[in-house]
Structure 1
Amino acid sequence: MSEQAVTVMVVDDHPIWRDAVARDLADDGFDVVATADGVAAAKRRAAVVTPAVVVMDMRLSDGDGAQATTEVLAVSPGSRILVLSASDERDDVLEAVKAGATGYLVKSASRQELADAVRATAQGRAVFTPGLAGLVLGEYRRIARDTTGPAVPRLTERETEILRHVAKGLTAKQIAARLSLSHRTVENHVQATFRKLQVGNRVELARYAIEHGFDE
């Protein structure tokens, strides 16, 4: 196995499906470092293995995928969440994205589509089953229309500097190298910015930065 293999954790409450997905991903060159059947197990294992990508179901043994996404990102903020769910219901998709998921595929996706989506997710790209991306963007536009221009939260000089780099598409590691900071310090600043701007993930953060001119 390549040293560069992307580490993956598969979270699903159906053991046969979970094992099949894990096996397919391993056969496609990914390093499947853990599996879990629910929110508690996902959080516990993510804290130990800090996977690059978590393939997350929305229906779990002790909760849902949105809750598990929040819990996993709390203990492994560098992980990216790709939902793989039987549901393409609007509310499920939006809940997952608001919790911090980077992408959302339905389980009818082919093995090749899943492998491609995991690779793209690891690279920080947002991947959605056709039709769902438009739904998510439409919701953001609706929220933007309904917002009556609240004051822009005050960011520190360092947070603003990091936000500019996020807007230009740099990863946390690239930002850390450019600013001579540790990866953890950059992640801490990004998480603080998430809270101040009330955004759920890097996709929303980058969108906010671009909309407010931080990419110039």
Structure 2
Amino acid sequence: MGDDDVQVTVMVVDDHPMWRDGVSRDLTAAGFDVVATADGVQSAARRAAATTPQVVLMDMQLTDGNGAEATAAVLEAAPEAHVLVLSASSERDDVLDAVKAGASGYLVKSASAAELVDAVTATSTGQAVFTPGLAGLVLGEYRRMSTAPPPSDGPQLPSLTDRETEVLRLVAKGLTARQIGTRLSLSHRTVENHVQSTLRKLQLANRVELARYAIEQGIDEG
């Protein structure tokens, strides 16, 4: 694609060699440059520092820790990297911890190869990638917090715009950014920006512990 035809560099972090190698092959075939792989927190941090990948695909279960710990370690070693969490499960605590640690988004391993390629491409440009499960969790937790009495000495809940709430609700229903854009007469990039803004707002609120409490008590909105 002209002068801008530069490969996106990617590191794949997963403790299963067959899955790690398979994803690396798929990404290479799709035109990405897989510059490193790793199976744990320490190896991921070392190799991120050495290769400075643009995107890090991060599994949640690693040989010497978890994906949230590895996300924090990788971003400390390579601050310009963007972390996209991939997990075989949608354990909500793990997802929220990874987001709190700085992950740009979350994708389940059951996603198709095309969805993975799209997610890596979006992540490389700094966009936030949500699966419906994570979007639903964030939306449900926001609703719960917005109806709770605000703590007198705590931070105020950030306000989501009507459009941000609408976009998040459609993501939670499983629509892609392009489908949402068509429905709302917006560009898919604008939709992704709304999602990223929402993620950033709720991260800054630093209420992950409240979200975990909601999950444990079973009062989130499935």
For normalisation by structure 1, the TM-score amounts to: 0.67
Partner Cα distance (2:135, 2:124) in 1: 18
Matches within 5 A, 1:1-216: 4-140=6-142, 142=144, 146-148=150-152, 150=154, 206-207=200-201
Partner amino acid for 1:36?
Answer: A
Question: Could you list the per-position Cα deviations for residues 75-95 of structure 1 after superposition, in whole angstroms to 9, with x for gaps in the alignment?
Answer: 111100001101101111111
Partner amino acid for 1:43?
Answer: A
Unaligned runs of 5+ in 2: 157-195, 206-222
* Deviation of the 1:41 alpha carbon: 0.2
Question: Could you list the per-position Cα deviations for residues 51-70 of structure 1 after superposition, in whole angstroms to 9, with x for gaps in the alignment?
Answer: 10000000000000000000
Return closer, same or farther for 1:84/1:41 CA change in 2, 3 Å cut-off: same
- Count of residue pairs brought into register by the alignment: 162
Partner amino acid for 1:100?
Answer: G
* Deviation of the 1:40 alpha carbon: 0.4
Q: What percent of counterpart residues are identical?
A: 64
Partner Cα distance (2:100, 2:198) in 1: 9
Partner Cα distance (1:89, 1:22) in 2: 24
Return closer, same or farther for 1:129/1:206 CA change in 2, 3 Å cut-off: closer
Partner amino acid for 2:44?
Answer: A
* Deviation of the 1:129 alpha carbon: 1.7
Question: Could you list the per-position Cα deviations for residues 11-67 of structure 1 after superposition, in whole angstroms to 9, with x for gaps in the alignment?
Answer: 000000000001100000001000000000000000111110000000000000000
Unaligned runs of 5+ in 1: 153-201, 212-216
CA contact (8 A) 1:102 1:203 kept: no
Partner amino acid for 1:122?
Answer: S
Return closer, same or farther for 1:18/1:148 CA change in 2, 3 Å cut-off: farther
Which deviates the most, 28-37 or 135-144?
135-144
Name the SS of the counterpart of 1:131 in structure 2.
Answer: helix
- Name the structure 1 match of 2:178: none
Partner Cα distance (2:43, 2:101) in 1: 18
